[in-house]
Copies of this chain bind each other. A is one copy, B any other.
Amino acid sequence: MRFTSQTSSDGVSEQLFTLGEIPGVLWTPEGAADARPLILMGHGGGQHKQAPGVLARARRFAADGGFAVAAIDAPNHGDRPKDERFVQATTEFRTRMGSGENPAALVAALHELVAGQAVADWQAVIGAVQELDGVGAGPVGYWGVSLGCGLGVPLLAAEPRVRAAVLGLLAVDGLAETAAQVTAPVRFLLQWDDHLVSRAGGLALFDALASSEKTLHANPGKHGDVPPFETDSALRFFARHLG
């Protein structure tokens, strides 16, 4: 793990790193020396580790929750190389979306292309970050919606170190069997008027999770309109399960 820059503002330290081929960011409360829970922050499709929403939530979780927060570029996103197969699939996705096709199966196919690598990446990141002073081997949480949910469900199914997750904004297509292996507490966000995810498909993914504690939070609005109070709520959810 190699750190390439370190800055600080408003009480939060932000460190860019690379771990093998994985570019990442680690946020911690400034001066953090003792162990604390770690939250992994997945980004949406076409976004990256420092997208505005990721940044705002990560800084909030570090400043107000005292958590360590790590984000990485998903395969084929941000500073990572794009492979030809993924670029072709993305182009096909846009074309078929433009012709009015139901996007759920297309989205699932895109996620499927990168899920295996993404799970391995996060597992490596957990191991490396938990070696650091100011993080340590405490409980781990995961926050990710849309693409972040498509990669988060396989991560949760594979990785018992992740003990609580905020997921959502995604339909069940391609994920029913994996979701049935998820047992950690889940907060699941659904946008009632989502133009990219059908209401029934989102409800079905929530339904498929095997977690005995899972709560669906549905709010009016489109895919990107999750209300700000859900960030406050997520912070308390993580504090309850990881704190």
Contacts and interface: CB of A to CB of B under 8 A. Distances in A.
Interface in A209-236: 212-220, 227, 229, 232-233, 236
A236 B230 CA distance: 12
Question: Quick one: which of A213, A220, A232, A233 has the most chain B CB within 10 A?
Answer: A220
Interface residues of A, number: 20
A165 to B, nearest CB: 16
Interface string A44-74: 0000000000000000000000000000000
Contacts of A214: 219-220
A79 B233 CA distance: 39
Nearest to A207: B192
A240 interface: yes
Contact of A215 (B219, B236, B240): B219
B213 A215 contact: no
A142 interface: no
